Structure 1
Amino acid sequence: MDELVDILDEQGNRTGKTCLKSKAHQKGLLHPTIHVWLYTPDGRVLIQQRGRHKDTHPLLWDVSVAGHIGAGEDVKTAAVREVAEEVGYSVNKDDLEPIGTFKAIHKIADNFIDAELHHIFLCKLNTSVQNLTKQESEVEDLDIIPLFKFAEETWGLANSAKYVPHGPTYYKTIVKEIKKRI
């Protein structure tokens, strides 16, 4: 779905300009997104397999929930919306624990540069994966795996080709922050 997004400056501040997400990707304009990592108190993390028809990284495993922040939309409001849309799980703003931002720029093709500022949140998952409902157009599959296995596969690089290439620093941050909370 194409939607209006805010354009950010190099420091991540809104410039007052907006454009369609497709145009931001075409021109490599920095824009905001959310990443929500859902984890269980017993040390497991929910991962999603990206849909087979996604423009970027189809069928790779990724963050529990990710999405674009609409133009003028509050960051936490976008996160709550995306969690409900992508995995059918209801959370409120107070459930979201912000752990920082991460700038990612990936050149997918000559006319597709994904320049995003990810606002990253952690959120406890208080239900089983069987109770979640994946958004068919966005999500191919869901899995819940032990944090130790997730760490091995991402920043341990045992199976890094399975995942969206956010890089070891990104994944180490996620693992360390979840580990502090379990």
Structure 2
Amino acid sequence: MDERIDILDEHGKPTGKSCLKSEAHQKGLLHPTVHVWLYTIDGRILIQQRGKNKATHPLLWDVSVAGHVSAGENVVAAAIREVREEIGLTINETDLKSLGTFKAVHKISEDFIDAELHHIYLCQLKSPLDQLVKQKNEVENLALLPLFKFAEETWGLASVGKYVPHGPTYYKTIIQEIKKRV
């Protein structure tokens, strides 16, 4: 969906301008997104296989839930909305634990530069995997992986072709923060 999104300056501050997501990607304009990592108290992490028709990284495994923040939308509201849309789970603000932001710029092609400021959250998953409802076209599959296996596959980038390339620093941060909570 080509929604309107707010544009940020190089420091992650709002510029007061917005445009269509497609224009932001074409011009490489920095914009806000949300990443919500869901984990279970027994040390498993929910990962999502991206839809086969996604413009970026189709069929690769990724963050539990991710999405763009719509123009004028509050970041926490966007996180709650994305969780509901992508996996059919209702959460509230107190369920989300902020880990801060992570700036990522990926040149996908000559006319597609994905410049995003990810607002990262952790959220404990209390529902069984079979009760989650995948959003068609966005989510191909969901899996609960033991945290140690996820760490093994992402820290050393042993499975480069399996996961979205967020980089070892990003993945280490997520894993370390979840370890503190289980």
TM score, norm. by length of structure 1: 0.99
Deviation digits for residues 87-106 of structure 1 (CA, Å, limit 9, x no counterpart): 00110011000001000000
Matched AA of 2:111: N
In 2: Cα distance, 1:111 partner to 1:46 partner: 32
Counterpart for residue 138 of structure 2 = 138
Q: Deviations over 1:67-116 (max 9, x none)?
A: 00001100000000000000001100110000010000000010000000
Give 1:161 deviation, angstroms: 1.9
User: Structure 1: how far apart are the matches of 2:130 and 2:173?
Assistant: 27
Aligned residue for 1:147?
A: 147
Distance (whole Å) between structure 1 residues aligned to residue 6 and residue 164 of structure 2: 24
For 1:14 and 1:103, the matched residues in 2 are separated by: 14
TM-score (norm 2): 0.99
Which letter does structure 1 place at the counterpart of 2:33?
A: T
The one-letter amino acid of 2:42's match is D
2:125 maps to 125
Which amino acid letter does the alignment assign opposite residue 68 of structure 1? H
Which runs of 4 or more aligned residues in structure 1 lie more than 3 Å from their structure 2 counterparts after TM superposition? none
Please state how far the C-alpha of 1:158 moved relative to its aligned partner.
2.2
The aligned runs of 1:24-43 (5 Å cut-off) are 24-43=24-43
For residues 64 and 34 of structure 2, the distance between their equivalents in structure 1, rounded to whole angstroms, comes to 11
Residue identity over aligned pairs, in percent, reads: 70
> In structure 1, how many angstroms separate the alpha carbons of the residues matched to 2:30 and 2:157?
28
Q: Is 1:169 the equivalent of 2:151?
A: no
RMSD of aligned residue pairs (Cα, Å):
0.6
| Counterparts of 2:71 and 2:122, CA distance in 1 | 23
Q: Give the total of aligned pairs.
A: 182
Mind listing any 5+ residue stretches in structure 2 that lack a counterpart?
none
Give the secondary-structure state (helix, strand or coil) at the position aligned to 1:122: strand
Distance 2:6 2:130 in 1: 35
Partners of 2:2 and 2:137 lie apart in 1 by: 14
